[in-house]
A and B are shown apart, each in its own frame.
Chain A
Amino acid sequence: DAKTTQPNSMESNEEEPVHLPCNHSTISGTDYIHWYRQLPSQGPEYVIHGLTSNVNNRMASLAIAEDRKSSTLILHRATLRDAAVYYCILKSSGSARQLTFGSGTQLTVLP
């Protein structure tokens, strides 16, 4: 599986935008970029995914570099409830369906 690299931790102020980076230089052409987040003592929650184009949903936006070797998850206005570990995961379209988690980015939101 292609690997991802994320910063261990980031801080943001409440109500400000947050840009969470992810590097995936060995991504293959059929790998989708997924983001999940995990609040303390809870199961992970799907946030967003994309292949080539930027994506928006009610939770966040995903900006994908033109060469696809990096991506950025954008939370437009961070709230205290967004404090979580954010995982960037590559998922291939092969037969393997499991998610391969790294250690993610711990986001702290300051009031």
Chain B
Amino acid sequence: DGGITQSPKYLFRKEGQNVTLSCEQNLNHDAMYWYRQDPGQGLRLIYYSQIVNDFQKGDIAEGYSVSREKKESFPLTVTSAQKNPTAFYLCASSMMRLGLAGSETQYFGPGTRLLVL
């Protein structure tokens, strides 16, 4: 089955610890995204990548880092600099359509819920 997988489903972070959230897709999509969702709120963009070895900051990139070494994978690291990391993290991907970016649709993974101990 094609889709996006995120792991783990729940993640606990201790004070001062870096944690990495996994996101893998087998849809052969070019673009991948990380969003953060706080309770009762919409999603906010953290980072996105349109091609391997390249990525751009979103609206709330501070305290996060990413890598895109393979087309299928886009892991997100929540660093100790992120002072309020408790949230629901969602990864998404899309097939890029040159000149028709407005019609691109995104596919989302099931999410990882990060909690601070």
Which A residues contact B (CB, under 8 angstroms)?
A: 30-32, 34, 36, 41-46, 49, 51, 87, 91-104
Contact = CB atoms under 8 A, between A and B. Distances in A.
A30 B41 contact: no
Interface string B1-39: 000100000000000000000000000000101010000
B111 A91 contact: no
Contact of A43 (B44, B48, B58, B109): B109
Contacts of A103: 40-42
Please indicate which of the listed interface residues B50, B90, B103 has the most CB atoms of chain A within 10 Å of its own CB.
B103
Given A93-B100, A99-B106, 8 more contacts: A31-B102, A36-B106, A41-B113, A43-B4, A43-B108, A44-B92, A93-B103, A97-B96
Interface residues of B, number: 32
A95 B102 CA distance: 9
Nearest to B41: A103
Contact of B33 (A45, A51, A87, A98): A98
A94 B100 CA distance: 8
A102 B41 CA distance: 8
B43 interface: yes
A32 to B, nearest CB: 4
A93 B42 contact: no
A97 B94 contact: yes
